[in-house]
Structure 1
Amino acid sequence: MIKFLHTRIRVADLDRTIAFYQQLGFELGDRKDSPAGNKLAFLSLPGNDHLLELCWSPDYEVAVPEDLMHTAVGVEDIVSYCDRLENEGIEIWPSGWREKFTTGGRKMAFVTDPDGYEIEILER
């Protein structure tokens, strides 16, 4: 069996990005230097095998085009999760997400990390 192990994203400030993802519920695992001289940090969500690898390089300028890619996380109660994030200063979009959740259908929202990567939040 083949397993999907991790996804790497480039970041401009490793500590700032680690702190952001920890607000989302990720836990910091290993931090190390790669053979190429990059600084790496591996984050996970409890109960998940897949890792998010953050990569910082001194000679790499991060410029994430809008809507290039996104990751997605599933939560049990999207309203309380998004309320908590919003109270911690993280912008939830689209605007008016609370009202959109009352009209039925799939409940989803988004946040954007410090480098411009989008994270989709879905209610499971």
Structure 2
Amino acid sequence: MKTLFAAYRVTDLDRSLTFYTALGYVELGRVDTEGGSHLVLLKFPGEPAASLELVHRPVDARVDVGSGFDHLAIQVDTLATTLERLADAGLEPGPVQQPGGPHGPKTSWLTDPDGYRIELVEWPPGHPEGITAADFA
């Protein structure tokens, strides 16, 4: 088994697509369902498959993100370059943090139009991609 993707309910599909496209996602495909709902699957250009789905149900009330979801973590190659690109696109990433100390990962936080939090992570040199069992040894 493996995780396929996370799905976010969004209030305004166009606004959310603008945000996630500026973040670097590209649209893989979409499904329009009965009742005017839309599912849009996104991926990063280097990914072979979808990693995020935006779910827009216009008949539902505004999205409430206070339901237990905490955040989405996205690995970046170089955090400084990513933050500059995001700021140029009109997004507002937070300051660089080093929660694991000077030899740990660099992070920055960003919030999407519906209030979903996104953690951008740059691993230190030599760290494998993603979090592995070695991170807990």
TM range (shorter): 0.7 to 0.9
Residue 66 (structure 1) shift: 8.8
Secondary structure (helix, strand or coil) at the match of 1:76 reads coil
Residue 84 of structure 2 corresponds to which residue in structure 1? 83
| Relative contact order higher in (CA < 8 Å, ≥ 6 apart) | 1
Secondary structure (helix, strand or coil) at the match of 2:113 reads coil
1:3/1:37 CA distance change after superposition, 3 Å: farther
Counterpart amino acid of 2:33? S
Work out the number of aligned pairs and report it: 118
Residue 31 (structure 1) shift: 1.3
Residue 120 of structure 2 corresponds to which residue in structure 1? 121
Residue 106 (structure 1) shift: 2.2
2:67 and 2:93 map into 1 onto residues whose CA distance is: 16
Farther off after superposition, 11-20 or 37-46: 37-46
Farther off after superposition, 80-89 or 10-19: 80-89
Farther off after superposition, 50-59 or 31-40: 31-40
Q: Percent identity?
A: 36
Kept in 2: contact 1:67–1:118 (CA 8 A): no
Kept in 2: contact 1:5–1:51 (CA 8 A): yes
1:106 and 1:66 map into 2 onto residues whose CA distance is: 28
Question: Aligned runs of 1:28-107 on 2, under 5 Å?
Answer: 28-35=27-34, 37-48=36-47, 49-61=49-61, 62-65=63-66, 68-93=69-94, 95=95, 97=96, 100=97, 104=102, 105-107=104-106
2:73 and 2:114 map into 1 onto residues whose CA distance is: 16
Counterpart amino acid of 1:53? E
Cα RMSD (Å): 2.1
Structure 1 alignment gaps of length 5 or more: none
Q: Deviations over 1:35-85 (max 9, x none)?
A: 565211010112333421101112222121298321111111101110111
Counterpart amino acid of 1:69? D
